[in-house]
Amino acid sequence: MVRNVQRPKQGDAHLRLKVSKKLFAAIKGIRGEIKFFEPLSPLTSFRIGGPADAVVFPKDVNDLCQLVRQARGAHVPIFVFGGTNVLIRDRGIRGIVVNLKQFTHIRDESDDMVFAEAGVRMPLLLQHSINRSLSGLEWAAGIPGTVGGGVIMNAGTRLGEMKDVLHAIEMVDARGSLMIRQAADLLFGYRRAQVPKGVIVGAWFQLTRSTRKKIEALTKSYLQYRKNTQPLTLPNAGSIFKNPPRGSAGRLIEEAGLKGAKVGDAQISPKHANFIVNTGHARAADVIRLIQKIRRTVIQKTGKTLQLELKIVGER
């Protein structure tokens, strides 16, 4: 039986029972692991986030297709995430959270084409390409997200981004059918891509042959640059804001005098002002208040509006 760890108020017990019945219909017969009312914080790089009604770890693509179809039929929302560019609110996520930890296979399709399942972490894909002397993914050094999240975010740095090497994606669409989309059909922008609604399950990467020595040297220098400039020893979610055209969000925040500012245990990193770090037991509410403070102060002091790169999700 699905139990609710947050004591339901008298008035909404009936509603919660209804949600539970719908939830059961959505997960019936699913073969992968399922956890109920599981806190999401351990699945995020921020170490912040309330519980999901259910976290499902589909066993394979067929299992995922079945889940998407059943959840659609039962009107239960699905949210998929890798956890490194999201802030999950303290009340958590209503519905099903899909985790692709079983989708970690990488295979060589040809001399210079690699397929990776969507749950593969970018550093692992980069390591695979280094082992095969394939160049093109060096920009991904130190980006901790998954292949699926990387496509949606068009992850990258000034040195390159996902769209430069992506050939095609495989995904389960909103109706639960498997389909392939060419990268040329996805409209990429700065930290965004237009991908049909659904769950990405894998991607093909077109790389170029190089020497292992060259690729390793580039990768090492990028990693060193990150170590020198980013607060990698405390939980965080990467850049909070997008860089404005020809500018730097971090510099604007620093110029507004906000480096080191805190709300609860959420702090604007003294090392890099576009990072918020969790110095202990920060709650999502603390991070959100800090974000509001940054936006307000930067507008007042510079007249510039900062756009969020971070995705804030969950029940308000």
Ligand X SMILES: Cc1cc2nc3c(=O)[nH]c(=O)nc-3n(C[C@H](O)[C@H](O)[C@H](O)COP(=O)(O)OP(=O)(O)OC[C@H]3O[C@@H](n4cnc5c(N)ncnc54)[C@H](O)[C@@H]3O)c2cc1C
Q: Which positions touch ligand X (CB under 6 A)?
A: 45, 80-86, 100, 118, 143-146, 148-150, 152-153, 155-157, 191, 199-200, 232, 236-238, 311
Q: Compare residues 135 and 236 and give the one whose CB is closer to ligand X.
A: 236
Query: Taking the alpha carbons of 296, 144, 194, 74 in that order, is the dihedral positive or negative?
Result: negative
What's the alpha-carbon Rg for the chain, to the nearest Å?
20
| 20 is known as an active-site residue | no
Strands 93-98 and 51-57 come out as: parallel
Q: Compare residues 70 and 146 and give the one whose CB is closer to ligand X.
A: 146
| Residue 307 to residue 154: CA distance in whole angstroms | 16
Any idea what the Cα angle at residue 181 is, between residues 109 and 104, rounded to 5°? 50
Q: Compare residues 66 and 85 and give the one whose CB is closer to ligand X.
A: 85
Reading the block at residue 212, the tokens are: 């292992």
| 269 is known as an active-site residue | no
Query: Taking the alpha carbons of 161, 163, 169, 175 in that order, is the dihedral positive or negative?
Result: positive
Among 121, 239, 269, 283, the one annotated catalytic? 239
- For the bound state, the minimum distance from the C-beta of residue 254 to ligand X, rounded and expressed in Å, comes to 18
Among 135, 191, 269, 283, the one annotated catalytic? 191
Q: Compare residues 30 and 125 and give the one whose CB is closer to ligand X.
A: 125
Helix axes 13-27, 61-73, angle to 10 degrees: 140
Reading the block at residue 118, the tokens are: 């969507």
Reading the block at residue 202, the tokens are: 């894998």
- For the bound state, the minimum distance from the C-beta of residue 209 to ligand X, rounded and expressed in Å, comes to 25
Q: In this structure, are residues 112 and 208 in contact, taking their beta carbons and an 8 Å threshold?
A: yes
- For the bound state, the minimum distance from the C-beta of residue 214 to ligand X, rounded and expressed in Å, comes to 21
Chain centre distance of CA 148: 8
| Residue 56 to residue 46: CA distance in whole angstroms | 21
By C-alpha distance, which of 43, 207, 42 is closest to 140? 207
- For the bound state, the minimum distance from the C-beta of residue 157 to ligand X, rounded and expressed in Å, comes to 5
| 239 is known as an active-site residue | yes
Q: Compare residues 182 and 211 and give the one whose CB is closer to ligand X.
A: 182
- For the bound state, the minimum distance from the C-beta of residue 208 to ligand X, rounded and expressed in Å, comes to 21
| Residue 4 to residue 300: CA distance in whole angstroms | 44
Q: Compare residues 20 and 248 and give the one whose CB is closer to ligand X.
A: 248
Which residues are marked as active site? 191, 239, 309
